[in-house]
Amino acid sequence: MNMKSKEEAFIDFIAEKYALKGSRDGIFGIGDDCAVIPGPGKEQYVITCDMLCEDTHFAKAMISPFELGWKSAAVNISDIAGMAGKPLYAFVSLGMPYPDTEYCDGFYRGLCSCLDKNDTLICGGDTVKSEKIVINLTVVGKAGRPVYRSGARPGDAVMLCGTPGASAAGLEALLAMGRERAEAAYPLLVRRHLMPEPVMCSFLLKDLAGAMMDVSDGISKDLAALCLASGAGACIKEDSIPVCDALKEYCSAEGKDPVALAVSGGEDYGLLFTCRPENSGICAGLMKENGVLCTKIGEITRKEEVYMLDKTGCRRPLPAGWQHFGDARS
Amino acid sequence: MNMKSKEEAFIDFIAEKYALKGSRDGIFGIGDDCAVIPGPGKEQYVITCDMLCEDTHFAKAMISPFELGWKSAAVNISDIAGMAGKPLYAFVSLGMPYPDTEYCDGFYRGLCSCLDKNDTLICGGDTVKSEKIVINLTVVGKAGRPVYRSGARPGDAVMLCGTPGASAAGLEALLAMGRERAEAAYPLLVRRHLMPEPVMCSFLLKDLAGAMMDVSDGISKDLAALCLASGAGACIKEDSIPVCDALKEYCSAEGKDPVALAVSGGEDYGLLFTCRPENSGICAGLMKENGVLCTKIGEITRKEEVYMLDKTGCRRPLPAGWQHFGDARS
**What angle is formed at CA A282 by the lines to CA A279 and CA A284, rounded to 5 degrees?**
105
Helix, strand, or coil here: A156? Answer: coil
Whether the pLDDT of residue B14 is over 50: the answer is yes
* Percent of chain A whose pLDDT exceeds 70: 93
Q: Is B133 on the interface with A (CB under 8 A)?
A: no
Closest CB from A39, A49, A101 relative to B91: A49
pLDDT classification of B281: cutoffs 50, 70, 90 = very high
Which one of B93, B112, B142 makes the best mutation probe of the A interface by having the most chain A beta carbons within 10 Å?
Answer: B93
Q: Mark yes or no for CB contact B50/A124 under 8 Å.
A: no
Phi, psi of B12 (to 5 degrees): -60, -45
**Mean per-residue pLDDT, B33-62:** 94
Cβ-Cβ contacts under 8 Å between A and B: the total is 204
Residue B1's pLDDT band, with cuts at 50, 70 and 90, is: very low
Q: From B69, B56, B54, select the one nearest B102 (Cα to Cα).
A: B69
In this complex, the residue of B40, B51, B122 whose CB is nearest that of residue A128 is B51
pLDDT average, residue stretch A291-300: 98
pLDDT in tens, B69-85: 999 999 999 999 999 99
Query: Which domains, from first to last, does chain A contain?
Result: 32-143 (3.30.1330.10), 149-329 (3.90.650.10)
Contact residues, chain A, for B28 at CB < 8 Å: 123
Contact (Cβ atoms closer than 8 angstroms) between residue B137 and residue B124? no
What is the residue-wise DSSP string for A305-325?
-EEEE-TTS-EEEPPPPP--H
Q: Is the pLDDT of residue A3 over 50?
A: no
- Residue B48 has its nearest CB partner, among A40, A55, A124, at A124
pLDDT of residue A2: 39
pLDDT at A239 over 80: yes
Q: Letter for the amino acid at B141?
A: G
Average pLDDT, chain B: 91
| Chain B residue with Cα closest to A50 | B126
Residues of chain A with C-beta less than 8 angstroms from the C-beta of B98: 7, 10
Report the relative pairing of strands A306-309 and A233-237 from DSSP bridges. parallel
Q: How is the beta sheet containing B121-129 ordered, strand by strand?
A: B23-24, B27-28, B35-38, B44-53, B134-143, B86-96, B121-129
d(CA B154, CA B162): 23
Query: What residue spans of A87-237 are helical by DSSP H?
Result: 101-117, 166-177, 179-185, 187-194, 219-230
Query: Residue A152 pLDDT > 70, yes or no?
Result: yes
Q: Inter-chain contact B37–A89, Cβ cutoff 8 Å?
A: yes
Is pLDDT above 80 for A130?
A: yes
Give the residue-averaged pLDDT of A184-212.
97
ipTM: 0.92
A330 — pLDDT class (breaks 50, 70, 90): very low
Poorest-pLDDT segment among A18-32, B67-81, B302-316: A18-32
Query: In chain B, what percentage of residues exceed pLDDT 70?
Result: 93
d(CA B122, CA B104): 15
| Residues from chain B contacting residue A20 (CB–CB below 8 Å) | 121-123
Average pLDDT value for chain A: 91
Q: Tell me whether B317 touches chain A (CB under 8 Å).
A: no
Please compute the mean of the pLDDT values over residues A33-55 and round it to a whole number. 95
| pLDDT tens readout for residues A105-116 | 899 999 999 999
| Cβ–Cβ < 8 Å for A211, A224 | no
